[in-house]
Structure 1
Amino acid sequence: MSLGCDLIVLEELTSKAKQIQEDVLTKILKANANTEYLQRFLQGSSDKELFKKNVPVVSYEDVKPYIDRVANGEPSDIISGEPITAFFRSSGTSSGKQKIFPASKIFFENIQIIYTLGSLVMSKYFDGFKQGKVIMFTFTRPMSTTPCGLPLAPALTSFTKSEYYRSLATKSTCPLQIILCPDTKQSMYCQLLCGLVQREEVVRVGATFGSVLVQVIHFLENYWKELASNIRSGHVSEWITDLSCQDSVSTILVEPNPELAALIENGCGQKSWQGIVSRLWPKAKCIDAIVTGSMSQYISALEFYTSNKLPLVSKAYASSEAYFGLNLEPLSKPQQVSYTFLPNMSYFEFIDVDVDGLTTEGEIVDLVNVKLGHYYEPLVTNFSGLHRCRVGDVLQVTGFYNMAPKFRFVRRKTTVLSVYVESTTEEDLLKALAQATVVLESSDLMTTGFTSYADISTVPGHYVFYLELKAKANSNITNVLPLDNNVLVECCCVMEESMNGAYRLFRSKDEHIGALEIRIVQQGTFDSLMHFFVSRGTSVVQYKTPMCINSAEALKVLEDKVIARFFSDKSPPI
């Protein structure tokens, strides 16, 4: 597809979804039928019906031995007829373990298509979108290599460092050299500095995930005085030692600007930071960050920082396995976002599951044959060697755009918490957090960090929720926060009341599940948790706060910062 496309291309893609999917599968099979992996099932045939009959549905662990062999130096045609040009490393914050995925040039081309179409959709809904600049906080990790010498990095790092990204970054407030700086702190500081200097031109503020943007705002809370001082003097701070950052900032911060410095000091120096994004970037039309799925916990914080004046746009649905689709209605409320699958990205199939994510006896269906209202787990067959591979997400069909289905992201498929025989999902936890948020907001508090832990060191085992809180009316960074015992105990109770029926049943029998506990941690704790995962190879731009902590080392990061504990004082109704 030409990148000189317009929305007519989108209409064509979605109107011809069935034929395009057939063509994609044909192309993949013709290229891969003679790979070692598919040869076992197809004996060199590229017949689509034989593929659906003989090729098994697999998980990542099933294909990992083949991926490892290519990474260790064996030929690409073990799994892929297309040359493998890179390997992507997943964040590991969803599953608890980092994975590597093979990638060919087609994956990078697909990302470029998604970026281009996404920008066209945004231009349709936001006047002047193309004319202004974008402050999109992007960070990269150092590239490493597999034993065979191929690049290994998070997908977005690989893309940002590729030739495909350069043509898409022309409207950024930040020079590419700053984004490519391997020192996240220096990069974040300089991205903020460049964005503030060009504040009157900014029409969009964002990051890949809502969690990253909230972390950037926390960073700004610590450094706004220094940033204003740099703008007043016309020089960047001496601790910015990266030469590329120094040189790049000098092209933006070309002279002292005391008026702008005073404006920033006035905006940031107010008692409350409610609406801070709109104050600093008054022409911004939206927040561009994914806030669906586990990222929905950051909706209330982002709404606070924008005073509910800017739409929160979750633009695309993607994973390390494939790019799936776009949000074609960017003005939708975060809770109502659906993603329209694009049939040219990969070949998609779906396993019908029930609302709890358990596989039914239903057959596997193609993209255009999913049914409205049904829940599915997607399977991906891509151009890089994955065939009928489970993604591990649960999606619900909410409608169709022409022939292409629209899906609401429901949750990750796996159970997140369990201390007895109950199964508590990511969606259950987010519902519980939403109920607690209502209670906290009535006391002028907001959550800035959330995760959970199944504590089985006690008898009976019980759920622990770590919360980082902040007073809405006070912008001061402090670890001293007045905590009302009644409010936090009520939070424990409403969280339990919102849990699924199995939890409530076993909780009513105290010998099975103990009282839910909330542990309040110091402000900045979840930044420390992010740095812990980044130090182990996770990219900042791909980091997602884990919904449940499984690592003993990560748990220690939280436990060292606990300042108060509260328990539910009654069993929830069954």
Structure 2
Amino acid sequence: MVVDSSISYPVGNTPASGTSAGERKLMPTIAAEMDRRQQLYSLLMPVMNLYVPGLDKGKGLYFLFIKAETKTPSGLVARPVLTSYYKSHQFKTRPFDPYNVYTSPNETILCVDAFQSMYSQMLCGLIYREEVLRCGAVFASGLVRAIKFLQLNWQQLAQDIETGYLSPKIMDPEVRDCVSKILKPGQELARFIRKECCEGNWEGIIKRIWPNTKYLDVIVTGAMAQYIPILDYYSGNLPKCCTMYASSECYFGLNLTPMVKPSEVCYTIMPNMGYFEFIPHDQSAHDSATELLDLANLEVGKEYELVVTTYSGLCRYRVGDILQVKGFHNSAPQFKFVRRKNVLLSIDADKTDETELQTAVENASELLKEFNTKVVEYTSYGDTKTIPGHYVIYWELLVQDPANGPSNNVLDRCCLAMEESLNSVYRQSRVADNSIGPLEIRVVKNGTFEELMDYAISRGASINQYKVPRCVSFTPIMELLDSRVVSVHFSPASPHWTSERRF
């Protein structure tokens, strides 16, 4: 038996989880579970090929990573769920499939050093650039991180390609051996990379370097939706496909219409993955006995909290996802992921969840468009040290034209725009009750959220599973964020609120 030391939802569309915020979870798994996971993976490309023909004529550039294993006090191996899969017999000895050829050799994926793994995978992706038909990572954040890695390391990568000799920074002997078989002197390719990267223009960089890319294979629903603008910027608006819905606890199903807009994504449950039950959402908030429904008794349009019983030993485990039934494929329900059950922010009677916070950030960021500025990362916390307490939102901005960046007044207005987007209970607390103070935005310097990820990885998070926590409370993380603040902004006025009359 193996224990998955996991962030919940490594390949599903779900928000902040254990390791991202500094905690870890242990989920039981068994060897036979790999066969079920492999079965689900094997269905992804046949579905994609219905919508994007010719995927057997090239390669996929995927940035995939493992994490070092640990052991529990009783001696059980503990590792992230995707590490279990990538190290499994099913993955390492998978039969040749022309629809699933990666640019990255297994050795580069199985290298436990994050830098060496990313560097070698990026190098192979550049070498095979004209054969790449799709780019991806588990989460949208992973693909964004890969492009940022290219921004920082393109000069060394171009030098390796020009000379045909791998950088001495790559010390893993198995990685050096497999990459050296691929890497040959290529002056023309090196010149091309330098030309595309030297001027610092990263708009459409994915399509420019990998010109035959047809879509991005990433999760951009749930917490990952905030990466859509930056991925559009990097890719020239390539389609973004969310192919499957899974978690550390259990793999659930797949998206049978992968080319739809991210806001329209729904997943078809595969009943053979586990035993699924559902709590009607209007009951799921109560601790008392609740009604459990099986797959056959769900209704279109209604929302449910997902409960799973797995082959690996979980019994009626409340996953914490709120799903809405959108329809049926034959008799299998199709779900849209709505949100995580847990509330992110609360100062008084207010309760702000992740979806609402995401919407508020999106609405406020509309004010930045005329200044060619985007919010590339954010997180939050409820500051109760002040009287009254207030919401603090950390923003990292991408300012494409520093000479025409947003002024302090514009960023102050962004605070108010966020407050106008929050629910009536919040606005009542701000306006009528004075129990919540003005919302604050703290702009942090570029690279801060990269440091935040590095810190999480140093504490045991997996680079492959990491997701920026949308709410933080861990003191070292908050100290890191506060040490990188470059400007502070408060809402200049109270949001709109009027009392509702009841008759």
On whether the aligned pair clears a TM of 0.5, the verdict is: yes
Q: How does 1:532-543 map to 2 (within 5 A)?
A: 532-543=455-466
Q: How does 1:277-426 map to 2 (within 5 A)?
A: 277-308=206-237, 310-354=238-282, 363-426=291-354
Kept in 2, the 8 Å contact 1:372–1:399? The answer is: yes
The CA deviation string for residues 120-144 of structure 1, in whole angstroms up to 9 with x for no partner, is: 1111111111221111101111111
SS of structure 1 residue aligned to 2:155:
helix
> d(CA) in 2 for partners of 1:355 and 1:298?
32
> d(CA) in 2 for partners of 1:269 and 1:243?
31
Aligned partner letter, 2:332:
A
Q: Equivalent residue for 1:511? A: 434
Kept in 2, the 8 Å contact 1:132–1:201? The answer is: yes
Q: Equivalent residue for 2:413? A: 490
Q: Equivalent residue for 1:94? A: 17
Kept in 2, the 8 Å contact 1:351–1:378? The answer is: yes
Q: Equivalent residue for 1:127? A: 53
The CA deviation string for residues 138-177 of structure 1, in whole angstroms up to 9 with x for no partner, is: 1111111222322210000111011111217861111111
SS of structure 2 residue aligned to 1:540:
coil
> d(CA) in 1 for partners of 2:118 and 2:34?
25
- Gaps of at least 5 residues in structure 1 are 1-84, 475-479
SS of structure 2 residue aligned to 1:105:
coil
Cα displacement (A) at 1:276: 0.5
Give 1:109's match in structure 2, choosing from 7, 23, 35.
35
Give 1:451's match in structure 2, choosing from 379, 383, 387.
379
Aligned partner letter, 2:193:
I
Q: Equivalent residue for 1:197? A: 127
> d(CA) in 2 for partners of 1:293 and 1:388?
23
> d(CA) in 2 for partners of 1:467 and 1:356?
33
Distance 1:415 1:356, change over 3 A: farther
Kept in 2, the 8 Å contact 1:351–1:362? The answer is: yes
Cα displacement (A) at 1:235: 1.1
Does structure 1 residue 267 correspond to structure 2 residue 196? yes
Give 2:146's match in structure 1, choosing from 209, 213, 216.
216
Kept in 2, the 8 Å contact 1:273–1:472? The answer is: no
> d(CA) in 2 for partners of 1:171 and 1:460?
56
Q: Equivalent residue for 1:561? A: 484
Aligned partner letter, 1:380:
V
SS of structure 2 residue aligned to 1:415:
coil
Cα displacement (A) at 1:481: 9.3
Q: Equivalent residue for 1:550? A: 473
Distance 1:168 1:546, change over 3 A: farther
Distance 1:358 1:265, change over 3 A: farther
Kept in 2, the 8 Å contact 1:534–1:540? The answer is: yes
Cα displacement (A) at 1:472: 3.3
The CA deviation string for residues 374-407 of structure 1, in whole angstroms up to 9 with x for no partner, is: 1110000111111111001111111111111111
Q: Equivalent residue for 2:91? A: 165
Does structure 1 residue 226 correspond to structure 2 residue 226? no
Size of the aligned set, in residue pairs, is 483
Between 122-131 and 452-461, the greater mean CA deviation after superposition: 122-131
> d(CA) in 2 for partners of 1:131 and 1:354?
49
The CA deviation string for residues 226-281 of structure 1, in whole angstroms up to 9 with x for no partner, is: 2111111111112222222211210111x211111111122223453111011111
Give 2:448's match in structure 1, choosing from 525, 529, 536.
525
> d(CA) in 2 for partners of 1:543 and 1:160?
17
> d(CA) in 2 for partners of 1:118 and 1:360?
39
Q: Equivalent residue for 2:68? A: 142
CA RMSD of aligned residues (A): 1.9
> d(CA) in 2 for partners of 1:481 and 1:510?
39
Kept in 1, the 8 Å contact 2:363–2:421? The answer is: yes
The CA deviation string for residues 418-437 of structure 1, in whole angstroms up to 9 with x for no partner, is: 11121111111111111122
Kept in 2, the 8 Å contact 1:355–1:375? The answer is: no
Kept in 1, the 8 Å contact 2:371–2:406? The answer is: no
Distance 1:269 1:360, change over 3 A: farther
Kept in 2, the 8 Å contact 1:272–1:473? The answer is: no
Kept in 2, the 8 Å contact 1:352–1:359? The answer is: no
Aligned partner letter, 2:399:
A
Kept in 2, the 8 Å contact 1:224–1:265? The answer is: yes
Kept in 1, the 8 Å contact 2:373–2:405? The answer is: no
> d(CA) in 2 for partners of 1:487 and 1:543?
32
SS of structure 1 residue aligned to 2:216:
strand
Does structure 1 residue 118 correspond to structure 2 residue 47? no
Q: Equivalent residue for 2:12? A: none
- Gaps of at least 5 residues in structure 2 are 9-15, 498-503
> d(CA) in 2 for partners of 1:357 and 1:201?
50
> d(CA) in 1 for partners of 2:2 and 2:79?
8
The CA deviation string for residues 482-527 of structure 1, in whole angstroms up to 9 with x for no partner, is: 4411221121111111111111110113630011111111111111
Between 105-114 and 556-565, the greater mean CA deviation after superposition: 105-114
> d(CA) in 2 for partners of 1:333 and 1:515?
35
Between 375-384 and 99-108, the greater mean CA deviation after superposition: 99-108
Between 359-368 and 336-345, the greater mean CA deviation after superposition: 359-368
SS of structure 2 residue aligned to 1:448:
strand
Cα displacement (A) at 1:332: 0.8
Aligned partner letter, 1:209:
F
Kept in 2, the 8 Å contact 1:208–1:289? The answer is: yes
- State TM-score, norm by structure 1: 0.81
Aligned partner letter, 2:460:
G
Give 2:398's match in structure 1, choosing from 457, 470, 486.
470
Cα displacement (A) at 1:355: 11
> d(CA) in 1 for partners of 2:90 and 2:404?
47
Aligned partner letter, 1:210:
A
> d(CA) in 2 for partners of 1:176 and 1:387?
35
Distance 1:262 1:232, change over 3 A: same
Cα displacement (A) at 1:98: 1.2
Cα displacement (A) at 1:452: 0.6
Kept in 2, the 8 Å contact 1:274–1:472? The answer is: no
Q: Equivalent residue for 2:187? A: 258
Cα displacement (A) at 1:471: 2.0
SS of structure 2 residue aligned to 1:344:
helix
> d(CA) in 2 for partners of 1:153 and 1:501?
43
The CA deviation string for residues 195-253 of structure 1, in whole angstroms up to 9 with x for no partner, is: 00000111111100001111111111111122111111111112222222211210111
Q: Equivalent residue for 1:21? A: none
Aligned partner letter, 1:407:
F
> d(CA) in 1 for partners of 2:252 and 2:135?
23
> d(CA) in 2 for partners of 1:468 and 1:174?
31
> d(CA) in 2 for partners of 1:407 and 1:528?
35
- State TM-score, norm by structure 2: 0.92
SS of structure 1 residue aligned to 2:32:
helix
SS of structure 2 residue aligned to 1:492:
helix
Kept in 2, the 8 Å contact 1:353–1:360? The answer is: no
